[in-house]
Amino acid sequence: MCQTGTAAQNDARNLFVKRARWFILSLLAIITEGFNCASTHSYLFFRKAIMKILVIGAGLMGWAAAFDMARSEQVTAVTLADNDGLRLRQAVERISRLTGSSKATAIPLDAADTGAALELMRGHDGVLSAVPYYFNLGLTKAAIRAGCHFVDLGGNNNIVQQEFKRELQAQAAGVAIAPDCGLSPGMASILGGELLRRIGGKADALKIYAGGLPQNPHPPFNYQLVFSVEGLINEYSEPVKVLRDGRIITVEPLTEVERFHMEGFPELEAFHTSGGTSTLPETFQGQVGECYEKTLRYPGHVDKLRTLYDLGLFSNEKRRINGAMIAPRQAVACLFEEKFRSDEPEVTILRVEAHHDDMIASFSMIDYTDAATGMTSMMRTTAWPASIVLQMLVGGQITKRGGIHQETDVPAQLFLNEMTRRGVAINYRIETAQEFHQGTLAAAVQEN
């Protein structure tokens, strides 16, 4: 009995020490960042407190980013550029109505015309690309030549790698390029890096779960399109980069399905999709044993998508059909636009977990469509992080020039403060692995 009591006391003491250590490390990370930000702001924030920003792309993400900039006190002018005149005009009118200002103006631009983009960039301090990923490399080169800071929403690992190959050119030009600034990668990468700092720099695993879901799902796919269809298909079809047993490997998309539970939601499924880890595996190799990002969907979705994948319907290889050369992916993109496009309310879920020594630190977020502005949660949690990072670059809160890695170069606590100020709540927890699993089990039982 004495030995059992002693063992229990030792376990309790060890648990207390672990909790105290992680709490102190978290506090030190926050305090250190606060001092760094304070020293930077002392002259840089006020030196560049007036900004003129260019947003390329007036679709869902583009107008949400331009709206966020137009309501910022330190932004004096926002130019929104797109090749669709009607969409562009409607976006600017909507921004002006919601902000009560005339900061946003419209300029016609074809994102493929990098010469015209370069000329337009020259009158701005920073550029945000909200167009499909295949435009981003050309726009990156133009931004460096124009002397503009540049951020984009990513969407393709190969393009992002090519952008980072220009980081020395960007550094020489005195500007920063920051690919992958959306939800995941983007905000998830920032939070993942912050978790590592708060727990001492090492983890057994860093796990990211993210997904945009309809609040009222309709079978058979139980999904609605919440961002670019090209980006969606890319996630479903390209190789997936992960860190496993300390080694960087690739796995197939739409694989390794696991159950996911979040309080207030039915059981979801999580599976690999491309692009979500961005540069995390390279950055944290040697510090983290396992690192991956999985997409969240309602049960049954991934099986249907995997069937399309196995049939080759996401392929870009063109085939001759009735005399015309058509890529299966083109047809699927049109069908997805037709079948998945919806104006019904949706919800975005994000959870980032750092596992180490039987403890789990996590950030979690649940955000819903905002009926007042008409913005989906995916717009708020994808476009606003990109807007915040660009404003940090122009304003001087991020002083690094060259390639910006979200997980190491963005001041996370300042970023969290900015998201909170915008009404997006991100919660932080530290708990034992047992407490964590009991919580997810309780959520599963509650929904059943």
Asked whether residue 82 is assigned to any structural domain, the reply reads yes
pLDDT in tens, 372-383: 999 999 999 999
Cis peptide before 345 (omega within 30 of 0): no
Q: Which residue has the tokens 């300042």?
A: 414
Identify whether residues 154 and 192 lie together within a single domain: no
Question: Does residue 225 share a domain with residue 108?
Answer: no
Q: pLDDT-based confidence at 419, cuts 50/70/90?
A: very high
For tokens 């694989």, the residue is 255
Q: Is residue 316 part of a domain?
A: yes
CA–CA distance, 243 with 250 (Å, rounded to integer): 9
- At residue 438, the pLDDT reads 83
Tell me, what's the pLDDT at 398?
97
- Specify whether 195 is located in the same domain as 293: yes
Based on the fold, state whether residues 306 and 425 are members of the same structural domain. Answer: yes
List pLDDT tens digits, range 331-380. 999 999 999 999 999 999 999 999 999 999 999 999 999 999 999 999 99
User: What pLDDT is recorded for position 235?
Assistant: 95
pLDDT in tens, 227-268: 889 889 999 999 999 999 999 999 999 999 999 999 999 999
* pLDDT tens by residue, 41-92: 433 343 445 799 999 999 999 999 999 999 999 999 999 999 999 999 999 9
User: For residue 195, is it within any domain?
Assistant: yes
For residues 26 and 209, give the distance between their C-alpha atoms in angstroms, rounded to a whole number.
Answer: 22
Give the end of a domain, one of 120, 152, 178. Answer: 178
Number of domains in the chain: 2
pLDDT single digits (tens) 97-156 = 999 999 999 999 999 999 999 999 999 999 999 999 999 999 999 999 999 999 999 989
Say yes or no: 253 and 127 in one domain.
no
How many Å apart are CA 317 and CA 315, to the nearest integer? 5
Q: Are residues 133 and 168 in the same domain?
A: yes
- Express each pLDDT in 268-298 by its tens digit: 999 999 999 999 999 999 999 999 999 999 9
User: 3-state DSSP call for residue 422?
Assistant: coil
Query: Does residue 399 belong to any structural domain of this protein?
Result: no
Q: Which range has the top average pLDDT, 11-20, 36-45, 419-428?
A: 419-428
Task: Measure the CA angle with vertex 435, ends 433 and 437; round to 5°.
Answer: 70
Q: In this structure, is residue 21 part of a structural domain?
A: no
Cα–Cα dist 275/181, whole Å: 12
Question: For residue 203, is pLDDT > 60?
Answer: yes
Taking the CA atoms of residue 377, residue 379, residue 382 and residue 387 in that order, the dihedral angle to the nearest 10 degrees is -130
Q: Decide which of 125, 155, 178 is a domain's last residue.
A: 178
Whether 87 and 123 share a structural domain: yes
> Is residue 218 in some structural domain?
yes
Query: What's the pLDDT at 44?
Result: 37
pLDDT for position 42 = 35
Beta strand pairing call for 75-82 and 149-152: unpaired
3-state secondary structure of 368: strand
Q: Does residue 224 sit in the same domain as residue 172? A: no
Residue 1 has pLDDT above 50, yes or no: no
| Cis preceding-peptide flag for 385 (omega within 30 of 0) | no
Q: What is the CATH number of the domain that holds 64?
A: 3.40.50.720
Full domain range(s) for residue 120? 44-178
Is the same domain home to 324 and 441? Answer: yes
C-alpha dihedral, 298 to 299 to 302 to 308, nearest 10°: -100
Q: Is residue 258 part of a domain?
A: yes
For 108, 123, 231, 384, the CA distances from 88, given in Å and listed in that order, are 8, 19, 21, 19
Q: Please state, in angstroms and rounded to a whole number, the distance separating the CA atoms of residues 396 and 55.
A: 19
Q: How far apart are CA 266 and CA 251, in angstroms?
A: 27
Find the CATH number of the domain harbouring 261.
Answer: 3.30.360.10
Structural contact between residues 293 and 277, judged by C-beta atoms closer than 8 angstroms = yes
Domain boundary, last residue among 144, 178, 212? 178
Residue 16 has a pLDDT of 61
Are residues 431 and 350 part of one domain? yes
Q: Which residue has the tokens 């991100």?
A: 426
- Is 50 a domain residue? yes
Q: Is the pTM of this model over 0.85?
A: yes
Q: What is the pLDDT of residue 228?
A: 86
The predicted pLDDT at position 440 comes to 73
Q: Are residues 286 and 420 both part of a single domain?
A: yes
Same domain, 222 and 149: no
So what's the pLDDT on residue 281? 97
Residues 6+ apart with CB under 8 A from 154: 133, 136, 160, 179, 180, 181, 182, 185, 186, 275, 278
Q: How are beta strands 240-244 and 51-56 bridged, if at all?
A: unpaired
